[in-house]
Amino acid sequence: MTEIYDFGKTCKGEKTCLFQITNMQGAFATVTNYGCTLVSLFVPDKNDALTDVCLGYETLQEYEKSDGYLGMLVGRCANRIAKGKFSLNGKNYTLAVNNGVNHLHGGINGFSSKVFGFEVKGNTIKFTAVSDDGEKGYPGKITLTACYSFTDENELILKYNAVSSEDTIINITNHTYFDLNGQGSGHAMEQKAMIFSRGITEIDENLIPTGKIISPEKNSPFDFSNLKPLCRDLNADNPQLKIAGGYDHNFVLNGDYDSSYGIFGLRKAAYLVGDDTSIAMEVYTTQPGMQMYTANFLTDRKGVIRKRYTKNAGVALETQNFPDAINHKEFPSPVLKQGEIYSHTTIYKFLTV
Ligand code: GAL
């Protein structure tokens, strides 16, 4: 069942809504069409108490004015594009830069701050938005649909589709910060994680991939082949961790393909457990990478229900193509050709262990 509430007007006067999708178990997700943002996600803990496992704000104004992309859909291209420059079909393009000299998450006012059109059907909301030809410097007019479902099995299913009027590049993700101990618990880094990957894309001092893939040694900071608390190696003496002030790296996924959802190319990406609540989350995706970001740049701010968030208040598991892929021939291509369809599915499934 999906209920729709008024979420106020943006500073430009656009009306927004807050949707609550409640499943048969009483668990629910709230989402706004401002940036297709996941505002809260209440799932049962080991005692069956509903627990909000994602960081969010109470008002639209906080979403509009705050950085950090809490819960938002980001794009046209998630993560960084070096110096905002790339070439496609022999033409050079320069994108708006918003992160030092680099382009980040589609630039200021990318998809994360658009008000999406919507259509509700049962436990699914289909959001639609357009990014015009030339917006932020990208070629082609993109029409993006994002279908968000929350199932009776406590699965949050995110399905993205996009088409472009011209050849372009695209990389859409969701930027939810998870704290399975309950949002604002103050010990999100004690969550345990396991990642199905063969390594990370190495970054330089500007957090831009060098092109090299680092395969971690057993038990080293980037080895998540066994479940371990995020805090175990967070401050380890490791050059990649030092650059980013924690984890802020793209993991090259190599998990087993999973046919249970009938979605082509869907594989297991990660597994996260809240040590306090015993809430666990399985992540599945059709994308080749996943940015694990331990909120290293998150500054102190007010969250929901008297909670405060600060550095390391959650972990984002952003399923995506590799950052700056257009400038690395060896990475999977982010090109969306005119007439083709971009499609990406990510599933976050919740259970208790
Ligand atoms: C992450 C990115 C971080 C930071 C954050 C937003 O996806 O990897 O470096 O920019 O978004 O604050």
Give the domain extent around 231.
2-352
pLDDT tens, position by position, 275-331: 999 999 999 999 999 999 999 999 999 999 889 999 999 999 999 999 999 999 999
Q: Which of 208, 176, 170 is nearest to 77 (CA)?
A: 170
> Quick check: 177 and 70 in contact, CB under 8 A?
yes
Q: Tell me the C-alpha distance between 119 and 33, whole Å.
A: 11
Mean pLDDT of all residues in 1-11 = 98
175 is catalytic: yes
Mean pLDDT of all residues in 266-272 = 98
Q: pLDDT above 90 covers what percent of the chain? A: 99
Mean pLDDT of all residues in 105-115 = 96
Mean pLDDT of all residues in 14-31 = 98
CATH number for position 143: 2.70.98.10
* Ligand 1, pocket residues at CB < 6 Å: 68-69, 79, 104, 207, 248, 291, 293, 297, 318
Q: Average per-residue pLDDT in the chain?
A: 97
Burial of 351 per CB tally in 10 Å (0-12, 13-18, 19+): middle
Mean pLDDT of all residues in 80-95 = 98
> Quick check: 175 and 104 in contact, CB under 8 A?
no
Q: Residues 45, 299, 105, 59: is their CA dihedral positive or negative?
A: positive
30 pLDDT more than 90: yes
Q: Ligand 1 pocket check: which of 66, 69, 299 to mutate, most ligand atoms within 8 Å of Cβ? A: 69
318 is catalytic: yes
pLDDT tens, position by position, 174-209: 999 999 999 999 999 999 999 999 999 999 999 999
pLDDT of residue 238: 97
Look up the pTM and report it.
0.98
pLDDT of residue 120: 98
pLDDT of residue 313: 98
Which of 175, 249, 328, 344 is an active site residue?
Answer: 175
- Residues 6+ away with beta carbon under 8 Å from 93: 85, 86, 87, 137, 138, 139
User: How many distinct structural domains can be found in the chain?
Assistant: 1
